[in-house]
Chains A and B, each alone.
Chain A
Amino acid sequence: MKLPDFEYAAPATSAEVVQLLAGRRGEAKVISGGQSLLPTMAFRLAQPALLIDLRNLQGLDHITIESSGVRLGARTRWRDIEDDARLRAAHPLLVEAVSHVAHYQVRNRGTVGGSLAHADPASELPCVAVTCDAELKLLGPRGERRVKAAEFFRGPLTTALADDEIILELSLPPWPCDRRWAFSEFARRRGDFALAGVAVCYDLDERERACNVHIGVLGACHYPRRLRRAERALEGRPVDLETARSAGVAASEEVDPIGDFHAGADYRKALVGTLLERALLKSNAQSIENCF
């Protein structure tokens, strides 16, 4: 369908964006790539009176890699993440997960900030953010604030972002060289929305047992979250066929997916278990070649 009518502004600073948002409380939306927002407007799921475009802003498209971790500006595109060879060592889980985001043309315009703000339960970046204890930097009329990813996502397409706030940056904690990881999702066609997916990372202690286990789920959930029972099933144990299976069973019991046209709830529960088991077995074989 054609888009509904709206006004359009493209200010040059983030302060002006916030000012415009505050002036039109709840009636304005920020647009950057527009790859999630414009379809929701075509379907009339959103009908903002004003779109505020970030295209004239300087910055916010940075990929910064430091000892304190990886920081992604809100306007960073999927394509930029794919093209940045440094990230393959600095955050392999991020790179692997982002490789599943959408199709070629969408990847050329879709952004980090847009995905986080849209908060589709099936999207990859929110899942990685929650799994890795990332933080979001937001800007509002009263200045900047930081929110943990686990507290940012509240439900399908629902976040802690206020009507008058914008996302500036996502910060991922540092990634140790010898960390183990895997990402696994299932979609009917690569690039489509996943029916379910899991992100996994953990470290190994001196006896090669998993510790600091982080397991996140996407798709088969109302919002991305960590699977604590599955994490506990693995913590302190070696990652082998037996423990991968028991973690998979725990994950399967822990998720509460809704069934829809594409797959029933029971199928999605079983899928989460299978994906986690496979991800854990794959995580044993993956390592970074040139550590950042």
Chain B
Amino acid sequence: MLKALKIVFELNGNTVEADVLPRLTLADCIRHHFMQTGTHVGCEHGVCGACTVIVNGDAVRSCLMLAVQAGGARVTTVEGLTPPEGLSPLQASFRRHHALQCGFCTPGFLTTAHALLTREPDADKERIRHVLSGNLCRCTGYINIVEAVYEARSAYAAKPPMNATAERP
């Protein structure tokens, strides 16, 4: 019988702990232990990008990271990017540009774009396309997603890196 290991990390601004088996991915840990189901699990082998979360400021695929590897880390999911009321500027831009249809891939696009624009608020369309190439969307054809991310740049350039997670209770 394999032993569960205790992990403690920061999830969307809150310190959380769980007893997990080593085989549990960070994606499943976030969904099943903490019921934050905004992080979607698509391919489970690092191709689709739907499970992207932000770990210590970097966008990573949470199906390719073990929950036990997140001990001590600062993890932000799409829930952590969402203000208590309404939408973040990036989310509002997605809505304005019709950058989603079924919505399955959207959390992965939002977390990826947020990590990118936080670090590179002047990313041009080529850079945005390059970065988003790691996320699959089968509805939109991508053009509206690129437009939405491009337009949201001003919200990141105007002030220091947004930290929506701090606003969550």
Tell me the A residues contacting B by CB distance below 8 Å. 1-8, 10, 31, 34-35, 38-39, 42-43, 51, 53, 55, 79, 102-106, 108-109, 189-191
Q: A38-B46, A39-B45, A189-B133 are in contact. Are A109 and B23 (CB under 8 A)?
A: no
**Which of B11-19, B54-62, B86-94, B97-105 lies at the interface?**
B54-62
Contacts of A6 in B (CB 8 A): 2, 22-23
Partner of A8 from B49, B60, B68 at Cβ < 8 Å? B68
A104 to B131, CA, bound (A): 5
The reply to whether B68 and A108 contact each other, CB–CB distance below 8 Å, is no
A108 to B66, Cβ gap below 8 A?
Answer: no
Partner of A109, one of B45, B65, B134: B65
On whether the beta carbons of B116 and A104 are closer than 8 Å, the reply is: yes
Check if B164 is an interface residue, CB within 8 A of chain A: no
Hey, which chain A residues are within 8 Å of B132, CB to CB?
A: 104
Chain B residues with CB under 8 Å of chain A are 2-3, 5, 21-23, 25, 28, 44-46, 49, 52, 58-61, 63-66, 68-69, 112, 116, 130-134
How many residue pairs link A and B with beta carbons under 8 A? The number is 90
- In the bound complex, CA of A189 to CA of B64 (Å): 21
Query: From residue A2, how far is it (CB to closest CB) to chain B in Å?
Result: 7
> Are A191 and B133 in contact, CB atoms less than 8 angstroms apart?
yes
| B61 A42 Cβ-Cβ under 8 A | no
> In the complex the two chains form, is A104's CB within 8 Å of B59's CB?
yes
> A108 touching B58 by the CB < 8 A rule?
yes
Determine whether the beta carbon of B5 is less than 8 Å from that of A35: no
Decide: A191 near B134, CB < 8 A? Known: A8-B5, A34-B64: yes
The complex places the Cα of A1 from the Cα of B46 at a distance, in Å, of 11
B60-A105 in contact (CB<8A): yes
